Amino acid sequence: MIGIFMNNSGKEGGRVQAGQIPILRVDADTIPRAYEQAIREVWEKGISIRTEYDRPEDPPSRDATVVIVVQEPFAQPRFHRSFADGLGGLAEYVMEVVHGAHDYWVKPLEEILKGTESKDTRWTYTYHGRLFEYRVEDLVIDQIDAMINKLAATGYTRRAQAITWNPKLDPPTEDPPCLQRVWGRLCEDEEGGYVFNMNTHWRSRDLFKAWFENVIAITTLMRTIAEEIGKKINSPVRVGRYADISDSLHIYGSYFREIEGDPEKGIKSFFDKLESRTFEERTWHSDFVKSHFIDDGLGKGLKPMLEREMEMPEDVRQAIARELRSMEQDDYIV
């Protein structure tokens, strides 16, 4: 075990020496608030530990087991401005998770089975592929449809879940899925209306550069599930609180320069950047984001995606075109 753990710089204390991974909890009203609080928590209280992705010169990552609760995933402002893509790219990622826009980028099974020996650089999985088309021997199972049916029949069931992990395909690959499980349940509010609560469980998670985009996509899926249950039970189902549970939520060592800044060179730390602006100035409302989701003017977004990705299967293309039409309506919230 020598060499795995390292002390946090400048900190004394028992966490690392005791060999215990901290368990942190973040509770926020909106997604951007949750994102900022989680970064502060993991940065201040996480342990330092190596990851398989570190380059030799990188310091160890800051890491913790973290439970994050977002009370109102579609409350505004819904978008933080800190993520590693543009708004058009984020829109395409949402289409990838919710509609399977990039399932056709997954390599054939025989290549996946070669593990790290495979020279094929296409992907080994997508979340949509695993959730909507999970393969067990000769069966292909739409787990999200099963969740919807289960919850429509018995809203209080504890059995509505979808998994991603494939014990045959995933251990040998270099890049196995981070999301492991989606679980949901219906509750009633004070007026007797239905509320869909959803939990997601993640094996590992890049907090600084992936968490926010993951959550925008997965809460869009959450809303889709709620709407589909509503159609089946002929009653509206409201999106409730979203709980996000990561075994390892981390800030990679390679990001520390960006987090810490370099005052001598006039480079701000991430936290100074946050503090130098109001919350409004470091977030965006869905109204602003929507036109960028449709077309960001730089070749990304739903319209350019449909024009660019001609190999996308027709049913997926139609689903994205429907999403685009909905997005063009005034009351649609991205």
Partner 1 sequence: MAIYEQIADEVVKGQADAVKELVNQAISEEISAEDVLNNGLVAGMNVVSKKFKNNEFFIPEVLVSARAMTAGLEILNPLLAEANVKSKGKIVIGTVKGDLHDIGKNIVGMMLQGAGYEIVDLGADVPKEKFIEFTQKEDANVVGLSALLTTTMIYMQEVIQGLKDAGLRDKVKVIIGGAPVTQAYADQIEADGYAPDAASAIDLAKDLLD
CB of 117 to partner 1, least distance (A): 11
Work out whether strand 237-251 and strand 194-206 pair parallel, antiparallel, or are unpaired: parallel
Nearest Cα neighbor of 194 from 245, 141, 230 is 230
CB of 290 to partner 1, least distance (A): 13
Binding partner 1 by CB under 8 A: which of 19, 267, 318, 332?
Answer: 267
Nearest Cα neighbor of 179 from 126, 240, 224 is 126
Dihedral of CA atoms 183, 150, 91, 211 in degrees, nearest 10, equals 0
Binding partner 1 by CB under 8 A: which of 161, 197, 269, 286?
Answer: 269
CB of 297 to partner 1, least distance (A): 4
- Chain positions 5 to 64 lying near partner 1, rule: CB under 8 A, are 55
Binding partner 1 by CB under 8 A: which of 59, 86, 172, 176?
Answer: 86
Q: Rounded to an integer, what distance in angstroms lies between the CA atom of residue 309 and that of residue 294?
A: 15
- Is residue 90 at the binding interface for partner 1, with CB under 8 A as the rule? yes
- Mapped onto helix, strand or coil, the DSSP state of residue 1 is coil
CB of 145 to partner 1, least distance (A): 28
For residues 90 and 169, which CB has a smaller minimum distance to partner 1 in the complex?
90
Report whether 327 contacts 303 (CB < 8 A). Answer: no
CB of 320 to partner 1, least distance (A): 17
Q: What DSSP element (H or E) covers 146?
A: helix 143-153
- Chain positions 168 to 197 lying near partner 1, rule: CB under 8 A, are none
* Span from 6-14, 41-49, 77-85, 193-201 in contact with partner 1 (CB under 8 A): 77-85
Q: Rounded to an integer, what distance in angstroms lies between the CA atom of residue 245 and that of residue 66?
A: 6
- Is residue 297 at the binding interface for partner 1, with CB under 8 A as the rule? yes
Task: Give the contacts of 80 (CB within 8 A, at least 6 positions apart).
Answer: 31, 32, 35, 36, 212, 282, 283
- Is residue 82 at the binding interface for partner 1, with CB under 8 A as the rule? yes
Binding partner 1 by CB under 8 A: which of 261, 317, 319, 333?
Answer: 261
Contact set with partner 1 (CB under 8 A): 55, 81-90, 105, 119, 121, 254, 258, 261, 266-270, 273, 276, 282, 292, 296-300, 308
